[in-house]
Amino acid sequence: MAKTSSRDRMKNEINAGSMADIAFLLLIFFLVTTTIDVDKGITVKLPPWSDEAPEIQQLRSRNVFSVLVNAQDQLLVRGELTDINDLRERAKEFISNPQKREDLSTDPKNAIISLKNDRGTSYKQYLAVYNELKAAYDELWDEECERLYGIPYSDELPIAYKKAIKDKIPMVLSEAEPTNFGEEN
């Protein structure tokens, strides 16, 4: 009797119940270790190319916020040497002009930020400057959105809201052809 029972046991298949657990363990291991690197960055819309020289527009100098970056990565904002950490605040003040000062923009709609760099400017500095200017607009949009709708600005807002805000504070950032004084490497 004992013999039969042992033969019976040999007929049994390998217990596959734990295989699923092992598979799950591996799956979880891979899920945890794989880093899905999301591509992030600053999205920009470049102006279309035209072969003709652009028309020279007369702009009132109070409406233009010029930012120059030289090959030594120094910033000249409206004629004065500025630290990059102050750029965001200055740009915000220029665009919104809360105190209605004579030398800042008449209206956010008329404000133009003009960015010019050198061919020798480092990309790091260029992106930092761009980031600060974008941040100035983002913060203004955020404040405007809070004021109008009571919610912070985000890309998921209804298009009508976004349009209303961007009509009020359009982002105008013009990039001039870079100068060619510095050394490229």
Partner 1 sequence: MAHFKKKRGKSSPEVSTASLPDIIFMLLFFFMVVTVLRDGERLVKVVVPEATQLQKLEQKSLVNHIWIGRPIEKYQAVYGTKPRIQLGDKFATEHDIPLFLEQHKIKVPEPQRPAITSSLKVDGDVTMGIVTDVKTILRKSGQLKVNYSARPKQK
Residues forming the site for partner 1 (CB under 8 A): 8, 11, 13, 16-17, 19-20, 23, 26-27, 30, 34, 38-49, 71, 117-124, 126-128, 130-131, 134-135, 138, 155, 178, 180, 182-185
In the complex with partner 1, the residue whose CB is nearer, 109 or 119, is: 119
R_g (Cα) of the chain, nearest Å: 30
- Could you identify the residue written with the tokens 């734990």? 18
- Could you identify the residue written with the tokens 């040999």? 10
In the complex with partner 1, the residue whose CB is nearer, 57 or 185, is: 185
**DSSP secondary-structure letter at 74?**
-
Report the nearest approach of partner 1 to the CB of residue 79 (Å): 22
Report the nearest approach of partner 1 to the CB of residue 3 (Å): 13
Report the nearest approach of partner 1 to the CB of residue 13 (Å): 6
Q: Could you tell me how many residues make up the chain?
A: 185
In the complex with partner 1, the residue whose CB is nearer, 33 or 99, is: 33
Contact 105/168 with Cβ under 8 angstroms? Answer: no
Report the nearest approach of partner 1 to the CB of residue 167 (Å): 21
In the complex with partner 1, the residue whose CB is nearer, 89 or 107, is: 89
N-terminal to C-terminal alpha carbon distance within the chain? 89
Q: Quick one: 69 exposed, middle or buried, by C-beta within 10 A (0-12, 13-18, 19+)?
A: buried
